[in-house]
Amino acid sequence: MEIVTRLISALKAYENNSRTHPEAQIAQIAASIKEFGFTNPVLIDEADGVIAGHGRLLAAKLLGHTEAPCIVLTGLSDVQKRAYVIADNKLALNAGWDDDLLRVELGALHEDEFNMGLLGFDASELSAAMGLDSLPPESSSREIDPDDYKMGCVCPKCGFEFDDK
């Protein structure tokens, strides 16, 4: 397999692509491309028909790119192409997370002041993944000690909200 460059205007989106790409997700993909580069080529057929990468193309257009890296998949039947349009998206959704390792990696990225907004998680997902929402509730039967009061903090770089204790 080799990566080839194609004009975005020459690529033909699959008209029956059942995967949707809301504007917010396109913006996330665009931010990822801007930060990391176009690291995941668009998969196309011999006639420049898009098989996988519709969202990446929309993000590239949003960024003003005129070309995109592509891999040409050859020898697929029309049925195989149609099936792969679905399989490429669904198979990725079937993956899970090792919650302990994810918590460690997210914590390290946050300590390194990486822009957590580039990871694709919203603030509540990040909070849950980092274990910040699993703090035990304080008992209402005791008096409130001002030293125990938790102050909310917001990361100035990514806007992630967390407790400072």
pTM given for the model: 0.77
Q: How confident is the model at residue 132 (pLDDT cuts 50, 70, 90)?
A: confident
Using a pLDDT cut of 70, give the percent of the chain over it: 81
For 140-156, the pLDDT digits (tens) are 444 444 444 344 455 55
For 109-123, the pLDDT digits (tens) are 999 999 999 999 999
Q: Determine the straight-line distance between the first and last CA of the chain, rounded to whole angstroms.
A: 51
